[in-house]
Structure 1
Amino acid sequence: MTDIDETPAGLRDRGLPGEGLDARLVVDRVTFRLDVALTAAPGDVVALLGPNGAGKTTALRALAGLVPLTGGHLRLDGAALDRTPPEARPVGVVFQDYLLFPHLSALDNVAFGPRCQGATKAEARAQAAGWLARMGLTGHAGAKPRRLSGGQAQRVALARALATRPRLLLLDEPLAALDARTRLEVRAQLRRHLAEFEAVAVLVTHDPLDAMVLADRLVVVEHGRVVQEGTPSDIARRPRTDYVAQLVGLNLYRGQADGHTVRLEAAGPALTITEDLSGPVFVAFPPGAVTLHRDRPTGSSARNLWRCEVAGLETHGDQIRADLTGTLPLTADLTTVAAAELGLHPGAVVWAAVKAAQTHAYPA
């Protein structure tokens, strides 16, 4: 890391005391209600994750002041921002399509914020040059946005947001506009810049990999409500909704535990687990834990065995993912060779087996 004196103002402002973000965002619309609580300490990166229409972008716009709250509160570093106009908030925003000024160079795009805050043209351009250097874009300072690649434009947008020395940085799907190859590189760069950012950062995304790599904590929103929050590893190990389970690639079920047996809800089958639990629980296992057989296996040690029908097949990485219905709806991953040997096709009847040791049960 560079010496603190060489770091542009607003990055690692260690001398600035901060209490972070304390918000309850309530937004009422005709057919939708957002009610999301968010807290974060300075230095935290929080990802809002959820399906389309969950309320993620509404929450982000409420934090920026672009959507008025109808209830709740919004405090940043102890100051109430509920009635503060957007332009007066210490908030920086990186929009999904970056929204760079097309008639300005990269340097002047970044200098725009400091100029609005009262810096002279020379001062603003000097600050902007420092930020572009930080982003590895010194050689592109004079380029207009149309001459920049997607990754370069994303870094200019991030520099423009940080140049205003925000106490809250908002990123709306910051990698969505990039192709897959560029996304890998820019994600790593963005992670490094966020790790150096001293204030609070809130990221909105529907991509679980972006959330897992970039954020310290995930807040999962569905239907305008928080359904789960925690560290990426907590979320991945213990999903609590079907949406989260699908994101992290797990089969998830809810039921009542009695010792090593879980009776699933809605008159479903029983599962054998290794944990000794009692009461409402979730049971999860990865698709790779499922083995498929054309005939009912007789010598298998798996305690969990169900008759299923193949509803669909799709390529998943270098494997085939089978969508199964029947006694227990689930997904299974198998190699292309195994799928061919089994003669899998929609409508085929198979037996699915899962060992108790490959399940993970936890209180609901």
Structure 2
Amino acid sequence: MSSKLYIGLMTGTSVDGVDAVLAEVSDQDFTLVSSHSHDLPASLAADILALCQPGDSELDSAGKVSRQLGRVYAEACHALLESAGVAACQINAIGCHGQTVRHRPGPDGFSIQLGCPDTLACATGIPVVSNFRNKDMALGGQGAPLVPPFHSRLFGVDGERRAVVNIGGMANASLLDGETLVGGFDTGPGNVLLDLWNQLHNGTPYDAGGCWAASGKVNKPLLKRLLRDPYFRQPPPKSTGRERFNRQWLTQHLENDLPAENLQATLAELTARSIHDSLAEFAPQRMLICGGGAHNQDLLERLKQNSGVPVESTANAGLDPDWVEAAAFAWLAWARLEEKPGNAPVVTGASREAILGQVTLP
């Protein structure tokens, strides 16, 4: 292939928009060329969140949402290419993660991401690589997290143990011993509970900078109860999502007399503690943070206090934290077209390496 250009698209568990990147990818190099953040219509975001929990007429709703998402993804691609001054014919493929609405690891595990690849391919004229997770699950893996091999490619440094922690709706960690990927897993909730509680009490999408959480006081007995959830003690490989950590999970732990800002502080400490505790055995010498949580100064300070090691943005290692996940799916699209393995059995528990993703032609 003469072109090295790929698009990566990501909508995560926060359901706060589409991250789109244009990247130049080869065996030796990965270069971010351009990026674009695309809004999700509020009604579509609400429909996605409704599908994240069991309900009525799910198949009809899922089919409609999938087509709508395909069109929104196409809009994001058009805007990205226009801003970069690049024609669609120059792009090898779009790596589209899709919007996860169910992730059920286990013996008959499956993972469902919405975002119709046929709609996206036809609207852009570009081949689309999608459905990255289920091959790994068919091989006995968790199908998640998928970004650790990309983290290893970009952020591994000889002589230092690093944990690359993506804090989106959920949080996941990649364990890098020098340039070797030695593990990875979902640590538990990232921003999902913080965003939920902030939306209920402040009416804004998120607690900007963690200022509201910083104004509260951690309720230690409640934190202890939250940390008793069996997921936190489950050994890797493991992955999770809104199926487990959601409003219902939070409600069952609420105390009527707890000031709202104190619960926000407790939820922030839960995210920081669950990340720290999951990394204790690996004992990283440095944490690199990406995802929306990289902008939450209160959360970063809690991670520093818990870990006692440098905690910094992936920007310091060469890639803006807002674009790491979308960039990973541009890289995974490249791996699919180059017929290179995209999973890491040491992370997911799959029985072998596998080429991930299905190709949909325009």
TM-score range, shorter chain: under 0.3
Q: TM-score, normalised by structure 1?
A: 0.26
Q: TM-score, normalised by structure 2?
A: 0.26
Which structure dedicates a bigger proportion of its chain to strand?
A: 1
Of structures 1 and 2, the one with the larger relative CO (CA 8 A, separation 6+) is 2
Which structure dedicates a bigger proportion of its chain to helix?
A: 2
Rg comparison, structure with higher value: 1
